[in-house]
Amino acid sequence: MDYPSRFDVIVIGGGHAGTEACLAAARMGMKTLLLTHNVETLGQMSCNPAIGGIGKSHLVKEIDALGGAMAEATDRAGIQFRVLNARKGPAVRATRAQADRVLYKAAIRHTLENQPNLWIFQQAADDLIVRNDQVEGVVTQMGLKFFASSVVLTAGTFLGGKIHIGLDNYSGGRAGDPPAIALANRLRELPLRVERLKTGTPPRIDARSVNFSELEQQWGDDPRPVMSYLGDRSHHPEQRCCWITYTNTQTHDIIRGGLDRSPMYSGVIEGVGPRYCPSIEDKIHRFADKDKHQVFIEPEGLSTHELYPNGISTSLPFDVQLNLVRSINGFENAHIIRPGYAIEYDFFNPQDLRYSFETKAINGLFFAGQINGTTGYEEAGIQGLLAGTNAALRAQNKPAWCPGREEAYLGVLVDDLISLGTQEPYRMFTSRAEYRLLLREDNADLRLTEKGRELGLVNDARWAAFNIKREAIALEAQRLKETWVQAASAEAKTLETKIGSPLTREYNLHDLLKRPELRYEDLPKPASAPVAPDVSEQVEIAIKYAGYIDRQQEDIDRLRANEAMLLPEDLDYQSVDGLSNEVKQKLAEAKPQTLARAARVPGVTPAAVSLLMIFLKKRG
Ligand code: FAD
């Protein structure tokens, strides 16, 4: 049969992880196949129609800095943009966009269909071809064989997926989509530790049945932020309003009354759900003293009446869902278009992965996304990008790229998953990053685009725009150092009104900007072209936070020294003097590859790290 069957990289699954994975491999010049259940669901948002948010936008910007699709698709699909934590420090500021589902999918599909080196094929992958612990290819539902020495699996919630509404349940990958049963069974034959997790989604509501008159409105920001470093507001579609309402004591009584028919509370669901995106029944149970919970009402898109009520995810029986929804202010006559549900699915213990996301047991087989125990589109997307990149590197016999915790939120995510594993769906927060002043959403390009270019992930247009920006930052930083304000000059007088005291000598603009009373916009502007806001932002942050940034840099230098101290895989921790039995056992289980990673194993104290360091130095 004259159909291409041999590829460099095969990616299974066209969700958020899979699309970034196949795009990355194809950008790197690899002949890549994306095999997915349904071409119509490429880039589908299974749950809330939003991208970004705290911790998550950092990941989206990193994807963008490495040439990925998510941020640009968001700029084409976003119907409301906001900066969260705008009044807090730059480390925790985050961009969030409400997206039109249909436009988002269209943008992702457009990118996929126009990516050179990428073939798309609609078929379920039912089997993996594995020989001598090396993956060799994939067999589809209709028996077609595709061959590649690198295969990236991104099956999301589909492996052994089981959907629950009340005490009823049925097999499904998500509502309306089939589960991946054959592949799940095949994977269970391989030496990989598999467990179950669950997640849930709220009922969707018809806007025509909602009384908005009493609801709080929430509009996006003005000026409107963009998600991509190449983002352009003129690409944004029409913008929409969201609303806020609340549950109440009646809602909570209805939920409590239905718990005996809740699959979670009756023990039907075994998998653990996301702590930070809990179901409404979980919230009522865990925060029993609260008499209301916020519900954000988010439009699903421009061309639909469907609304997403963010905050009332539930798997209670439909009659309870209807009553609880109608007890909420504004929803008294609400019509539910789709019921809420929970889904249980297989995930694989991420501790069985290498830092490249290749499985330790099967060479060439990479895992990314929800199947690694994470939750969220952004977490999935960035993992896909890493797995796709490393699958491409492996196909070329090149060493893997494994960014560290000090380089990227991606590094934090990978290290958390692999060194600690996860017992519940893992999502990103800024608090997970110890060097968060360096890992900001505003500087992901400065941290990663050069590396992306070296890897072949970043195209000429992005690289050119990046270099212009980088140069402009250097020039503006230099101008601030070289531009002086004389005491008693007109410029000094203007600045003194902000500072509140006279300038008694001459100062350069760099030193003036260190003062807490002054912002970049208060300083005299260059006579030449105006400085772009993303350039002045970098200059301002670097000057204002120089002390903290330098301190974090020193910590990173120390970490790098510890990262360079390798711990042999067969190290006998029993023979390390002074370690407690508990620490010995934890280290023997975790098998950290470096001293820095050993320090992050829970329960391993700084004293234990010192003992290990002495031991390693003695061993030579
Ligand atoms: P998915 O987006 O699930 O994509 C998997 C893709 O693989 C699909 O296209 C599927 O068709 C394809 N596929 C699977 N198996 C095969 C096969 N054998 N052959 C071919 N193709 C295959 N995230 C949050 O952050 N917060 C939430 O509250 C939240 N709630 C959720 C509720 C529900 C009900 C669901 C289903 C998901 C929820 N999520 C939530 C999770 C979010 O949707 C995922 O984290 C994200 O979509 C994961 O991306 P992924 O690429 O790993 O997988």
Express each pLDDT in 105-135 by its tens digit: 999 999 999 999 999 999 999 999 999 999 9
Residues contacting residue 569 through CB under 8 Å, at least 6 positions apart? 591, 593
Quick check: CB of 36 below 6 Å from ligand 1?
Answer: yes
Cα(408) to centroid(ligand 1), Å: 24
Question: Looking at residue 527, what is its pLDDT?
Answer: 87
Cα(345) to centroid(ligand 1), Å: 10
Lowest-pLDDT range of 1-10, 67-76, 224-233: 1-10
| Of 419, 372, 449, 411, residue with least CA distance to 15 | 372
Question: Looking at residue 121, what is its pLDDT?
Answer: 98
Q: Is it the case that residue 434 has pLDDT exceeding 90?
A: no
Q: Is it the case that residue 1 has pLDDT exceeding 80?
A: no
Ligand 1, atom 18, residue with closest C-alpha: 125
Q: What whole-number distance in Å separates Cα of residue 78 and Cα of residue 61?
A: 15
Residues contacting residue 525 through CB under 8 Å, at least 6 positions apart? 531
Average confidence (pLDDT) over 556-572: 84
Ligand 1, atom 14, residue with closest C-alpha: 155
Cα(370) to centroid(ligand 1), Å: 6
Question: Looking at residue 196, what is its pLDDT?
Answer: 95
Pairing mode, strands 294-299 and 242-246: antiparallel
pLDDT digits (tens, 9 = 90+) for 137-167: 999 999 999 999 999 999 999 999 999 999 9
Ligand 1, atom 50, residue with closest C-alpha: 156
Question: Looking at residue 366, what is its pLDDT?
Answer: 98
b/e 543-582 (16+ beta carbons within 10 angstroms → b): bbbeeeeeebeeebeebeebbeeebeeebebeebeebeee
Q: What whole-number distance in Å separates Cα of residue 65 and Cα of residue 443?
A: 9
Q: What whole-number distance in Å separates Cα of residue 471 and Cα of residue 582?
A: 52
Lay out the sheet containing 150-153: strands in order across: 118-122, 32-36, 9-12, 150-153, 365-367
Q: Cα 321 to chain center, whole Å?
A: 30
Q: What whole-number distance in Å separates Cα of residue 305 and Cα of residue 493?
A: 56
Quick check: CB of 46 below 6 Å from ligand 1?
Answer: yes
Q: Which residue has the tokens 């993992």?
A: 383
Structure tokens at 613: 């360091």
| Of 31, 13, 29, 2, residue with least CA distance to 152 | 13
What are the CA-CA distances from residue 515 to residues 315, 493, 540 (Å)? Answer: 53, 16, 11
Q: What whole-number distance in Å separates Cα of residue 451 and Cα of residue 447?
A: 8
Cα(500) to centroid(ligand 1), Å: 55
Q: What whole-number distance in Å separates Cα of residue 480 and Cα of residue 379?
A: 38
- Give start and end residues of each alpha helix (H) in 142-180: none
Question: Looking at residue 112, what is its pLDDT?
Answer: 98
Q: What whole-number distance in Å separates Cα of residue 538 and Cα of residue 515?
A: 16
Q: What whole-number distance in Å separates Cα of residue 368 and Cα of residue 167?
A: 31
Quick check: CB of 154 below 6 Å from ligand 1?
Answer: yes
Question: Looking at residue 591, what is its pLDDT?
Answer: 85
Q: Is it the case that residue 620 has pLDDT exceeding 80?
A: no
Cα(369) to centroid(ligand 1), Å: 8
Helix axes 377-395, 16-27, angle to 10 degrees: 30
In this prediction, residue 273 has a pLDDT band, given cuts at 50, 70 and 90, of: confident
Question: Looking at residue 265, what is its pLDDT?
Answer: 87
Ligand 1, atom 23, residue with closest C-alpha: 376
3-state DSSP assignment of residue 576: coil
CA atoms 498, 499, 505, 511: torsion sign:
negative
Ligand 1 site-directed mutation target among 36, 39, 123, most atoms within 8 Å of CB: 36
User: Does 15 belong to an annotated binding site?
Assistant: yes
Q: Cα 388 to chain center, whole Å?
A: 16
Looking at residue 358, what DSSP letter applies? B
Cα(498) to centroid(ligand 1), Å: 52
User: Does 278 belong to an annotated binding site?
Assistant: yes
pLDDT digits (tens, 9 = 90+) for 197-232: 999 999 999 999 999 998 999 999 999 999 999 999
Question: Looking at residue 2, what is its pLDDT?
Answer: 76
User: Does 47 belong to an annotated binding site?
Assistant: no
Quick check: CB of 347 below 6 Å from ligand 1?
Answer: no
Which pTM value belongs to this model? Answer: 0.93
Quick check: CB of 383 below 6 Å from ligand 1?
Answer: no
Question: Looking at residue 400, what is its pLDDT?
Answer: 98
User: Does 286 belong to an annotated binding site?
Assistant: yes
Pairing mode, strands 125-131 and 118-122: unpaired
| Of 82, 106, 93, 46, residue with least CA distance to 240 | 82
End-to-end CA distance of the chain: 59
- Strands (DSSP E) contained in 349-414 are 365-367
User: Does 382 belong to an annotated binding site?
Assistant: no
Q: What whole-number distance in Å separates Cα of residue 419 and Cα of residue 414?
A: 8
Instruction: Verify cis geometry, omega within 30 degrees of 0, for the bond prior to 533.
Output: no
What is the chain's alpha carbon radius of gyration, rounded to the nearest angstrom?
Answer: 26
Work out the percent of the chain whose per-residue pLDDT is above 90: 83
Structure tokens at 52: 């970004």
User: Does 348 belong to an annotated binding site?
Assistant: no
Residue 406 phi/psi, 5-degree rounding, is: -85, -10
Average confidence (pLDDT) over 379-383: 98
Question: Looking at residue 348, what is its pLDDT?
Answer: 98
Asked whether this complex has an ipTM greater than 0.90, the answer is yes
Cα(346) to centroid(ligand 1), Å: 12
Question: Looking at residue 564, what is its pLDDT?
Answer: 83
Q: Is it the case that residue 559 has pLDDT exceeding 90?
A: no
Ligand 1 site-directed mutation target among 42, 163, 199, 345, most atoms within 8 Å of CB: 199
Look up residue 592 and give its amino acid: P
Structure tokens at 584: 């010995």
Q: Tell me the range of 70-84, 540-554, 569-583, 604-618 where mean pLDDT is highest.
A: 70-84
Q: Which residue has the tokens 């360079």?
A: 564
Mean pLDDT of the chain: 94
What are the CA-CA distances from residue 311 to residues 82, 279, 298 (Å)? Answer: 19, 7, 11
Cα(157) to centroid(ligand 1), Å: 5
Question: Looking at residue 570, what is its pLDDT?
Answer: 83
Residue 280 phi/psi, 5-degree rounding, is: -65, -35
**Other beta carbons within 10 Å of 17:** 34
For every residue of 535-555, DSSP letters joined together read HHHHHHHHHHTHHHHHHHHHH
